[in-house]
Copies of this chain bind each other. A is one copy, B any other.
């Protein structure tokens, strides 16, 4: 099968690789569309062995072509979407194997291309909001701050949080177009860059903070903005040490959301399939919008390289999706 992979130091190559081995809970999926994410460029830069080329890509949709012996949830021909497992081969290939517990039927309203734009951001947003911040129906009238509300994860956070009636959602965004996007996603209010906040009414205001941007930059500002007994969740790796003591008087907490924890530790992996099923249901009910998509047509090395270059500008709006064509 055709695959685009990294053999050594940061170089993408188009390779002809054997079909991957199918374990008993795996689905063999014919990939129809590939969503690109910053994790692709991060893994590209890691050390890999030339003898074991690493196939990148952790957002995809496709069709089930074969199933492992113990697969119980899917049948051949099912149209599915998933993010997958960062420690297995990714979706930049004609075929991929994925544990069925990480997979769901794709939203029926969406094309493969649209469906491939959703899994990683929606899993991150959902786990952050419902596992870590522990939002629930009693969170009404509480305040959530979404730092970076116009990005891929941020817009999904706002949309999924919007399902809780009367939760007050405040998003941060700098540019007017981003601020407009936050309101369209469902934010009640948009504020400027959190480092510029001088409004004393926002100090200790937020019961929940979901930071989709630099943890290093926003850690201390968040400790001012968080409410007593408040919860902070972050997704961007940090390089600095932090003085946790500043959260103590507030009995506040800090959590990481890392979308690949479940597959990495093989912990309740079926929860990710369940989340993707819920998201598909919400999309089909038109409660969640698909982000703007920039389509690259054709699965070839040029398009993957172009996609990575676009990601690395940091200026893409919405999702980049490669259609297999």
Contacts and interface: CB of A to CB of B under 8 A. Distances in A.
This chain's copy number in the assembly: 2
A251 B204 CA distance: 25
Interface size class of A (residues with CB under 8 A): 20 to 34
A29 to B, nearest CB: 26
A217 interface: no
A325 interface: no
Given A255-B251, A256-B252, A265-B204, A242 B239 contact: no
Interface stretch (A99-107, A126-134, A193-201): A126-134
Given A131-B229, A229-B131, A267-B229, A261 B244 contact: no
A303 interface: no
A228 to B, nearest CB: 4
Contacts of A256: 244, 247-248, 250-253
Nearest to A235: B248
B253 A261 contact: no
A245 B237 contact: yes
What are the 3 A-B residue pairs with the smallest beta carbon separation, nearest first? A253-B255, A241-B241, A251-B261
